[in-house]
């Protein structure tokens, strides 16, 4: 699954620890400083002439990276978002958890969202993916 594979990769790269400060599918209330990976719409799968009938050649999902820091600590949220961005944008021709990824590309640079109810800064960016159908 996309979030499992990307989450494991980011954990291996030192971005955070899954279930502690790196989350898949939701942004919890705590801890203040954390990263969340959330699936988004993506694109249609790609079919080519050499594909088996009815089977796509690759999938094109997408996901959002959300980085949050403690109250009024914008620079920490910005630094974490930039760190994750550098790990993901341009990642190509690699295998994550035994699944072949042709590419992961950021759709835009990290940008600021409105602060949450506790005045915590939030930065996000979205990634487009092309991966093997497995």
Name the residue ranges covered by the structural domains of the chain.
Answer: 2-132
Residues in the chain where the model's pLDDT stays below 70: 44, 47-56, 134
Quote the pLDDT of residue 86: 98
**pTM for the structure as a whole:** 0.90
Quote the pLDDT of residue 47: 67
Quote the pLDDT of residue 51: 54
Range 2-132 classified under CATH 3.40.50.300: no
How many angstroms separate the CA atoms of 91 and 82, rounded?
15
> Using DSSP, how many helices (H) and how many strands (E) does the chain show?
2, 7
Task: State the residue for tokens 């502690």.
Answer: 20
CB 21 within 8 A of CB 34: yes
């Amino acid at each position: 699954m996309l979030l499992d594979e990307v989450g494991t990769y980011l954990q291996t790269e030192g971005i955070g620890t899954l279930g502690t400060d790196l989350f898949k599918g939701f942004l919890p209330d705590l801890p203040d400083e954390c990263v969340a990976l959330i699936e988004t719409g993506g694109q249609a799968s790609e079919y080519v002439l050499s594909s088996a009938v009815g089977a796509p050649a690759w999938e094109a999902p997408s996901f959002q990276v959300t980085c949050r820091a403690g109250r009024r600590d914008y620079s920490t949220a910005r630094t974490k978002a930039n760190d994750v961005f550098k790990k993901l944008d341009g990642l190509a021709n690699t295998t994550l958890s035994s699944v072949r990824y042709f590419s992961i590309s950021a759709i835009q640079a990290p940008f600021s969202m409105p602060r949450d109810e506790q005045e915590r800064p939030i930065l996000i960016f979205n990634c487009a993916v092309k991966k093997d159908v497995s």
